[in-house]
Structure 1
C-alpha cells in the first residue's frame, strides 16, 4: 500500500471458521483496551477475555479514585469480568493524556508478556454541549469544549498509539481498533449534532486510515469501528432502565428498539482479532452490524442489529420505528 493510495475494498464474504467465538480462540494473545472502564471498552475487553486473551484494561477510574466523569464503574470491575469470561484481566490505572504513564504501561506489558497483539483505542469522556450551533455558545466555552474534546478523543489515541505500536509491530499480524461513532459513509452525509463532536469523531476515523498506511508494511492492520445505538451504562441510566429491562425504554424512545449491548461490538473486535485474513479490512470504517453479517456473531439476545442502515433508511427519514429486517 503506497502512502497516497486508498485502501482496496475488502472482500466482505464470510471467512472460513467465521462462527461466533468460543473457548480459547485467542489464547496466548495479549490485548490492551485503552479506556476499558465501561461502555464499549468494557464490552470489548470481556469478549476478548471470553476468547481466551490476556487483556490489560486501563482507565482513570479505579476502586479508590474516580475521574471527572464521576461514574461508578471501575477498571478493576472490568478486569474481574474478563476473568469470569475465561480470559485474564489486568487492571492498570492510566491517564492516557500523560505520556510517561502510557510509556510505563507499555513497558510493563512488554516485561510481563513480551508482546502486544491487539490495541483498542476507546478513550473518550468529553462533555458535549448538544443542540447549540458554534455561534450560539460563548467563544470561551466553545474553545474550552474543543480543547477538552480533542484532547480526550484525539490526543489520548495518538499518545497511546505512539508507545503501544512500537511493541505491537514486533509481532506480525497485529490489530489496531480505533473506536468511534459513525461510519465514514454515514458521517460524510450527516451532521453529528455538535460541531465539536463532529470534528472529534471525524478525526478518529481518519486516524485509523492513517495508521493503516503506516502499519501495513509491518504486517499489522488498523480499522475504525463503531457500535450502533449502544446500551452503555450511562445510556441505560438516562432511559431509566437496566440491560435486563432495556425494552421498557422503547415506549418513550421507539427507535431504541435498534439498540445493542456492549457485548455486540466486543464480539466484532474478537472476530476481527481471530480472522487470519483481517488485513482485508485495513484502513476501513466498519460497524458492529456490518461485521455481524460477515462473521456470524450475534448480540446477547441472538439478534444482529444493523443500526447504521436502520438510521439511514428508517429513523433519519422520519418513518415510524420498525426494526423488521434490521435486527
Structure 2
C-alpha cells in the first residue's frame, strides 16, 4: 500500500496503434464505429427475440442470451473510448477510470470464457446423454449456472486489479493499446512489477485453460458420439454445427493465450501485431456470435421472419384504412 503514495499521474492516454498514420484515423474510427453498432444491434436483436418469444425459453437459448448480453456489455466498455480517440483525438482517460475499464474488460472476458464452458456442457449433455438431457439441463439449472458465471467472473479480475493498483505510476502515461488492460498498465509502473505480472498470468491461465480444457473434453466426447451415428446426414449436420462453434472458441482462446504468454516470456512480437491479436479475440467473436449461434438456428430464423412480417403488416394497416375511408 505504501507504493501507491508515489503515484503522481492523474490520467492515462490511449494511443491505439502506434504505427498507424494520422491520415487513416478517420477510416479506423469509422471501422470501429461500424463494428460497435453492428455488435450492439445484432445482440440486442437476439435479446429482444428472446424476451418476446416464449418458445425460446430453453437452456441453449438462455445461454445464448447470457452470451449476447455479455458481448454487448464488453463492446460498450471497450470501443467508445478508442472511437473517440481516433475520431476526436480524445484519448485521455482518468487514472481510476482506466482501472475501472481494465476491471470490466477482464471481467467480461472471464465471463465469456465461463459462458462458453456452460455452452460446451449443454452440447455435451444434449448429444452424449440425449435421453437424460431434459432432466439434467432444465431451465432452472441453466439460470443457476449462468448467474453463477456472472458472479464468479468478478473474482479473478478483482485480484489482478488490486495487485496492479499497489504499483506506483509516476512517469510514462501512454497506453499503447486500444483500451486499458493489465499488460499495458503494469508496463507503465515505476517499480518492479514481476510479481504482479506473474499473479495476473496465473489468474488468466486458470480462467482460460480450465474452461478450455473442459470444452476440449466435451467436444472430444461429442465427436466420438457423432461418429457412432448411423445416419450420415445427422452426422454431417452435427459436425457442421460443432465446427462453427469450435472456430469461435479457437478465435476466442488461441490469440489470448499467445498474447498473455508472449508478454510474460517476453517473446518478440511487434506492438501493432499484439494489438491486432487483442482486437481479434476481443471484437470479432461478439460481432459474429449472433450470426453463428442465432441466425443460423432454424427456430430463431422462423421467429424473426414472423416478427418482420408482423411489423410490415402493422405499418401497412393504416394505409389500408385510409384507402378504405
More strand by share: 1
Larger RCO, structure (CA 8 Å, separation 6 or more): 2
Q: TM-score of the superposition, structure 1-length normalised? A: 0.27
Q: TM-score of the superposition, structure 2-length normalised? A: 0.27
More helix by share: 2
